[in-house]
A and B are shown apart, each in its own frame.
Chain A
């Protein structure tokens, strides 16, 4: 539905968006994820019409939207600050866009009531924005931006101002509303957990470029670069050289005097190519004795234990000096934990647990 073709945006010397080509499909919940200053907000503002690309074109439903001003686009935006009109009541805020369309009064009433029901704000219709809580304000902003049946809804860090618990609840509400309305959502966020929770596809951005676009599970399980692996969640990176050992199977030598690690990875590598093994801590098992059947096993010493309640993260120092993180669920009470500081343990993982990434 949306197609960015070689879009570049420069502010003087600074390149915010660098020759970017992406597609966003209908009814999709698309997340733009990246650190602040990576260009994700610029990308969104170009969709809303507040910025124009320096080069390249953006098509919305087959139409080039560059000459269309923001007030003529079938695109609505939910602002990071919510941008609710302080002099208007909740009801009037939601009706604002509808009144601009010269919609009959009766239809406006119906539509606003429908939006109030959808966002569970019926009781607050007469209040002014400063008389309601942050979570309610966020829902008013959402209702207001959805009221006009936009083809595309843009959400700029929509949950940034909410506390963690409310944020998690709202994430599910957002997904619900997106499913109910069938609108295409594009969300900008720097919170990877949020992106993973709500989005059907996640685009990881850095320095004005899209690094990887994929479903949340693929982004997490098979990142295409060290940057993505590192940005999303926790990861262990082991540097080494690849040696092909059958189809898609590699023996990665990582340190002299240690057995090469067996990795199965779809990314192709040539013999002797430098590479990184990225492996998630929860995919590394920890045990007192050397496991028999494991594809890879290394010995190390527990340096640190981070107790997080449901799980513990063990920082294990290998003889090479590298530190590997391993996570284990705390199925027993902490007093009966099998390992403690300074214990020598074995870490093991299967050949398919990690991915091999180029430099």
Chain B
């Protein structure tokens, strides 16, 4: 009985804070925009009853999403940015995780601390700091001009490159930590065995280290990919007008256009899109746990 009670608490929590808001958003997405407060129709009316209320709902907004190419382009562009930045985060994160796992044991807690340290500062402040670094008069351009590599300042801020830099920087720890935990458990004698059986250092890495850290790579990639897909702050602060991401579109629909029903429809589709990688991620975690038993 007590066990059920303990399980019930998080489930009630999730129900109240996820399922109920989701139901409200879903309902709005099925409504029509109206110049009113709140800006959609119909409102639930006790007098008319549930039947009449449901009759007013339709999928008009979802149909609209398929008609205007802005939306699917934004979804595709988000997907592209999420995939590319996940790849770069992996490229940057794997060597760091590898170096940490190979470092002397007494150094590891310090290195781990350094990876987590940025979380001590607000995410927004760190993104603003990048604006200071990447702008035309920013530190990066000043430094490059000082060294003489470039004579004209590079335009980085308000381009997709700035978005990639911001995303890779922000999500790096989410990539490093799962890979590190996979690599740290790797038995060093496996690498020696591979070398003993005729592998060079590099092929031992490809044939043993990479396959055995596969679960960490998958977990880290999902941890980066899933939130980046719906990322809003980084593209809106670092990206330019041609940076198209669904999070930004969503924000504009809600607050600039005040078209809540369409914005809700965008949000519902985004959520449905995210369900796929989330389910895959869960499956990976489960498989990993089973393998460990």
Residues of A115-170 whose CB lies within 8 A of B? 130, 144-145, 148
Collect the chain A residues with CB atoms within 8 Å of residue B208's CB. Answer: 85
Separation of A101 and B200 alpha carbons in the complex (Å): 12
A87 touches B192 (CB 8 A): no
B211 touches A76 (CB 8 A): no
Separation of A84 and B192 alpha carbons in the complex (Å): 11
Interface range, A side: 20 to 34
Min CB gap A101→B, angstroms:
6
Collect the chain A residues with CB atoms within 8 Å of residue B207's CB. Answer: 96
Chain B, residue nearest A70 (CB): B195
Min CB gap A308→B, angstroms:
37
Q: Count how many chain B residues have C-beta atoms less than 8 Å from C-beta atoms of the other chain.
A: 19
Min CB gap B185→A, angstroms:
11
A14 lies within 8 A of chain B by Cβ: no
Q: Residue among B187, B195, B197, B212 with the most chain A CB within 10 A? A: B197
Min CB gap A21→B, angstroms:
25
A227 lies within 8 A of chain B by Cβ: no
B195 touches A71 (CB 8 A): yes
Collect the chain B residues with CB atoms within 8 Å of residue A71's CB. Answer: 195-200
B212 touches A79 (CB 8 A): no
**Interface 1/0s, chain A 80-113, versus B by CB < 8 A?**
1101111100000000110011000000000000
A77 touches B196 (CB 8 A): yes
- B198's partner among A80, A84, A85, A100 (CB-CB below 8 A) is A100
Given A86-B212, A87-B211, A100-B203, A81–B189 Cβ distance below 8 Å? yes
A210 lies within 8 A of chain B by Cβ: no
Given A81-B187, A86-B212, A87-B212, A148–B198 Cβ distance below 8 Å? yes
B14 lies within 8 A of chain A by Cβ: no
Chain B, residue nearest A101 (CB): B198
Q: Residue among A49, A83, A85, A97 with the most chain B CB within 10 A? A: A83
Separation of A101 and B203 alpha carbons in the complex (Å): 13
Collect the chain A residues with CB atoms within 8 Å of residue B189's CB. Answer: 79-81, 83
In order of increasing CB-CB distance, the 4 nearest A-B pairs are A97-B197, A100-B198, A83-B193, A83-B189
**Interface residues in chain B, defined as those with a beta carbon under 8 Å from any beta carbon in chain A:** 187, 189-190, 192-200, 203, 207-208, 211-212, 214, 291
